Amino acid sequence: MIRRRDHYKLAGRNTFRMDVGCACWIEYDSPEDLSELDLAALPQPVVHVGAGSNLLFTGDFPGTLLHSNIKYYKPVADAEEEVLVEVGAGVVFDDFCAWASDNELWGAENLSGIPGEVGAAAVQNIGAYGAEVKDIIAQVKCFDLEERRIVTFAPAQCAYGYRDSAFKHAPLKGRQVVLGVLFRLSKALRPRLDYGPLKTAFAQAAPAHPVEVRQLILQIRASKLPDPALIGSAGSFFKNPVVSQETYDHVVAVACAAVAEASPEGRLQARAGREERCDDREAPAGKRSVGRNPLGVQGDGKEGATLVAPHFDLPGGQVKIPAAWLIEQCGLKGARLGEAAVYDKQPLVIVNATGTARPADILALEKTVIDAVRDKFGIEFHPEVEHIGPDPETPKKI
């Protein structure tokens, strides 16, 4: 069935809770519904959305928003060690995580609690706590809006990267609509405990059931991230920047200079250095080597101690720096601008502080953060959150 609503209010359809609207909202229940739609006859542009958990509406949307209500779990293969299950694009992703864990299937538990739906998860390659959804994707089934037929994509064709996939770029963007995702889950015990707090929590006794990992992840998320039921946000607002070794060294030098300026002790301590040690960051690939504290001071604090900026060495000599740390170094942790704020427990998240923030409030704070990080460290931030609004060119990244 197709449900069409004109002049539709979107406050309940975006986790930032922006009080905006769209000219037309269409929800469909099946691939057949989608194939029947005459897209050209709808208000333009036509854009597909999920749960709105990674979107910032910058104003009223003049076109049509499509939303999938395709919900199913279809077991496709059941072998000794693994199962393949196809899940409809409209299923709430965390419902799938709960289902997998409850059925003692490993693979989705680290991704517990991420807001959003299965289709968008496959487009965005969501990730957290040492795992990315691409790790368990065996195939993505789409409806090709141009050829009007169902097509499937093997993982390699999806070109997955950090919060990225081929579905976010031409020629697939706007053309392929995800109908369902085939997940490969493990019946065999396969916990992924690279993320520091998981490793620590299970140091004495390894988890025997994915529900144990899921529960811990949900606890960690609750302690760091705003509760979507209480505070509007879209999770991480920016991507963690990947920079050259040279830029990283510059970041360390700037941070050291700031410490030296702040206190006489700092002057003694401010010897830039890099030290490799394990940390609690997400580990998409490569070797983790990050300081635990903001500019963690190694040694006893006397002369000779070194300062370590959190970082993560990537293959090819590049370095990923936690955006949260850079924002904190700019003094913006907890900063408030209008009705928007940088979340005080995790500065990578921008929140609708009062519940009544307008798009302009969020955009102003976004600009403030981008400008501050550029001015201080010479690093250009890129939003992870997709901007969607009145500009006919939307959705686009700025």
280 near ligand EPU, judged by CB under 6 A: yes
Nearer to ligand EPU by C-beta: 88 or 347?
347
Angle ∠(249,253,255) on CA atoms, nearest 5: 115
Find the part of the chain contacting ligand EPU (CB under 6 A) among 25-33, 76-84, 251-259, 276-284: 276-284
Q: How far is the CB of 4 from ligand EPU (least distance, A)?
A: 31
Strands of 214-302, DSSP E: 232-236, 242-243, 287-288, 296-298
CB of 30 to ligand EPU, least distance (A): 30
- Examine the residue annotation and report whether 274 is marked as an active-site residue of this protein: no
> Considering beta carbons, is residue 101 or 240 the nearer one to ligand EPU?
240
Residue from 117, 132, 279, 386 that binds ligand EPU (CB under 6 A)? 279
> Are 233 and 343 in contact, with CB atoms under 8 Å apart?
yes
Site string for ligand EPU, 108-147 (x = CB under 6 A): --------------------xx------------------
Which amino acid is located at 107 in the chain?
G
What would you measure as the largest C-alpha separation in the chain, in angstroms?
72
Minimum CB distance to ligand EPU, residue 395 (Å)? 17
- Applying CB under 6 A, does 294 fall inside the site for ligand EPU? yes
Among residues 3, 224, 287, 374, which is the contact residue for ligand EPU, using CB under 6 A? 224
Is 68 considered catalytic here? no
By beta-carbon proximity to ligand EPU, the closer residue of 39 and 222 is: 222
Q: Contacts with ligand EPU: how many residues (CB under 6 A)?
A: 24
Residue with token string 């704020």: 341
Question: What does the block give as tokens for 370?
Answer: 């981008």
Please give the C-alpha separations between residue 274 and each of 128, 248, 291, 312, in angstroms, as whole numbers: 25, 10, 9, 11
Q: Output 145 or 330, the one with its CB closest to ligand EPU.
A: 330
Q: Which residues have a Cβ under 8 Å from the Cβ of 61 and sit 6 or more positions away?
A: 10, 20, 21, 22, 23, 47, 388, 389, 390, 394
165 touches ligand EPU (CB under 6 A): no
Cα 270 to Cα 134: distance, rounded to the nearest angstrom = 41
Q: Which is nearer to ligand EPU, 126 or 270 (CB)?
A: 126
CA distance 18 to 386: 14
Contact 63, 44 (CB under 8 A): yes
When the beta carbons of 21 and 116 are compared against ligand EPU, the nearer one is 116
274 contacts ligand EPU (rule: CB under 6 A): no
Phi, psi of 17 (to 5 degrees): 60, 40
Q: How far is the CB of 332 from ligand EPU (least distance, A)?
A: 11
Which residue, 178 or 290, has its beta carbon nearer to ligand EPU? Answer: 290
Residue 148 CB, shortest distance to ligand EPU, in Å, is: 33
Among residues 13, 86, 132, 163, the one annotated as catalytic is: 163
Question: Which helix (H) or strand (E) is 186 found in, with range?
Answer: strand 176-186
Catalytic-labelled residue, pool 101, 112, 165, 236? 236
* Active site (annotated) includes residue 236: yes
Q: How far is CA 253 from the centre of its chain?
A: 29
Residues in a beta bridge with 352? 232, 340
- Is residue 325 within the footprint of ligand EPU (CB under 6 A)? yes
- Considering only residues 48, 239, 274, 387, which one is a binding residue for ligand EPU as defined by CB under 6 A? 239
Q: How far is the CB of 357 from ligand EPU (least distance, A)?
A: 18
The interface mask with ligand EPU, positions 296-315, x = CB under 6 A, is: --------------x-----
Q: Is residue 281 at the binding interface for ligand EPU, with CB under 6 A as the rule?
A: yes
Q: What are the CA-CA distances from residue 139 to residues 21, 125, 130, 136, 322 (Å)?
A: 34, 13, 21, 9, 31
Pairing verdict, β 340-342 and 349-352: antiparallel
User: In Å, how far are 121, 240, 247, 265 from 378, measured between CA atoms?
Assistant: 31, 14, 8, 26
**384 touches ligand EPU (CB under 6 A):** yes
> Given the rule CB under 6 A, which of 200-208, 209-217, 274-282, 360-368 is the region that contacts ligand EPU?
274-282
CA distance 109 to 218: 10
Nearest CA to 61 among 395, 332, 398, 396? Answer: 395
Active site residues: 163, 236, 384
Residues that bind ligand EPU (CB under 6 A): 128-129, 224-225, 235-236, 239-240, 279-282, 290, 294, 310, 322, 324-325, 328, 333, 346-348, 384
